[in-house]
Structure 1
Amino acid sequence: MEIFDCISAVARPIHDFGDEFMSDDATAAIGLRAGFAPGRGFYCRGRFGVLGEASASVVQAVQGFLGPDLVIAGWRAGRSVMPAEEAAACYTQAVRTWGRAHISADADVEHFNLLAQQLIDAADADALPLFAGWRAQPCPVDDPVGAAMQRIHVLREHRGACHLAAVRLCGLSAREAMVVNLGVEQATRYGWREPHPAAANLISRWQRAEQLTDELQAPLYATLTDRQRAEFARLVTTLTGAPTP
């Protein structure tokens, strides 16, 4: 399988599987049991806790795609519950727990873990701090299914960080990119206040940003052989339960 064919095959399943985890009531329940109030505290403090005790404005700048009010409120709400490092560890456990409950029993997680870790190790993390923080989270050797879900999350963070860089390079704001990609209603759901419909000239910029995101990820997938890329795409499809391309 060619590099860009593989990227195209796995990008959406990895993104959507991670989205399912983040939006699941079972994930929110873990945060509630850990002491977080209902809302975005566990999500923000847990996902972005790998950045350390950064200010809310810095967290917002790093993550990019969620509305600033949502992120700042969630980050500050979680601060009194536990330190950032502890919250990130708790969120990591939630990632693994969700994976054990949702990854297909038919998936060869051992093979997936080998290939996924090869991709993760090959990544240049310069200018991608959220990815770098998640890559640094310890990954268990005695929980292959949980580890597979954690690696999915890390790869999702890599593409997200690359996409944020690509969006800005193409002259789009994060708000504009969210509206182009998801529409006004969904952009509002992700915390953007009264977003306006996207102007027609922004659509081509977003399309270029998508292409540039693929290009930024290409060095990772170049470390796999054609056969390994085909295997990885098949494994992601099986593991996430995505429709066969």
Structure 2
Amino acid sequence: MSDTADESPASQAARECADDIGAVGAMFMLDMDNHVAAAAAGYEGLAFYFGGRGGVLGDVPVAAVVKAFCFFPSASVEAGWTQAIGVETRHEAAVRFARAAETWAASHLPTDGIGYERLAELAGRVSAAADGASAPIFDGWRALAEPRSARELAYHRVNSLRELRFARHVAELDRLGLDPLVAFMIKSPAMADIFGWPQPRPTPTDEHRRVWAQIEAGTDVAFGADLAVLEPAELSELVALLGSMRAAIT
């Protein structure tokens, strides 16, 4: 890791691994085979995403799910959340979602060449020590039964880190008062139709982008505080292992 003035090793590691955690953790959610299997079980549209990922929240009001997902319009969340309960219980949906992650890992990650056991250990220590009070999806995900295989366990815990960082990001968004849709139009405007955001959509200003940069920096600090349970050498190791996992995906 390179030196950055006034930045702790943990915050630096948080910044350096952010893209890998986000990209790798999301891949099973985007996998068409998993969505085909979910459709065969009775899920429609994005209902498996909302019902499965949000299933760890339990039987909560839809407003709590909208808040936890943050970057989706409430109508999309409510439709998916409502349809999902007609398929199976919230816990069953969450378990199905976790098994989808395992299936994806088994199909797309090599059996060797990556330090899966070490990655699982490091990620697991971060997850176990983190305060989940303001990170409900993360808190629910880490409470699920974990796979036994080192490869699938490592992937499961990478998604745990993804949910933890996401929650820290949402907290920073709330703290600085940037509208989620404005933030979405800065980060992923091409995905607005897929996410179901209605027209008209705002055009972010230079001030919005300045605040967004502050949110990103604040997220690194907040997630860095979670990573700080690791020693500096372990932080470097975690960053390297996450990069190796992403590079090895087939």
- Output the TM-score relative to the length of structure 2: 0.91
Matched, 1:169 2:175: yes
- 2:56 and 2:137 in contact (8 A); partners too: yes
- The residue number in structure 2 matching 1:237 is 243
Matched, 1:110 2:130: no
- The residue number in structure 2 matching 1:18 is 25
- The residue number in structure 2 matching 1:56 is 62
- 2:14 and 2:221 in contact (8 A); partners too: no
Identical aligned residues as a percent:
29
Matched, 1:217 2:185: no
Q: Secondary structure at the match of 1:71?
A: helix
- The residue number in structure 1 matching 2:89 is 83
- 1:99 and 1:148 in contact (8 A); partners too: no
Cα offset, 1:19, TM superposition = 2.4
Distance 2:21 2:211 in 1: 23
The amino acid across from 2:90 in the alignment is A
Matched ranges for 1:89-238 at <5 A: 89-104=95-110, 105-140=112-147, 142-183=148-189, 185-194=190-199, 195-238=201-244
1:19-59 deviation line (CA, Å, top 9, x unaligned) = 2221110120221232323x111111100000001222221
Distance 1:181 1:53 in 2: 31
1:34 pairs, out of 15, 23, 41, with 41
Q: Secondary structure at the match of 1:232?
A: helix
- The residue number in structure 2 matching 1:65 is 71
1:72-116 deviation line (CA, Å, top 9, x unaligned) = 111111111001011101111001111111224321101111111
Matched, 1:9 2:16: yes
The amino acid across from 2:129 in the alignment is A
Aligned length: 240
- 2:11 and 2:223 in contact (8 A); partners too: no
Distance 1:35 1:189 in 2: 20
Distance 2:222 2:177 in 1: 17
Of the structure 1 ranges 225-234 and 44-53, higher mean CA displacement relative to structure 2 is found in: 225-234
- 1:70 and 1:191 in contact (8 A); partners too: yes
Distance 2:15 2:28 in 1: 21
Cα offset, 1:242, TM superposition = 7.3
Distance 2:13 2:192 in 1: 28
Q: Secondary structure at the match of 1:72?
A: helix
Distance 2:69 2:43 in 1: 21
Gaps of 5+ in 2: 2-8
Of the structure 1 ranges 81-90 and 10-19, higher mean CA displacement relative to structure 2 is found in: 10-19
Of the structure 1 ranges 17-26 and 158-167, higher mean CA displacement relative to structure 2 is found in: 17-26
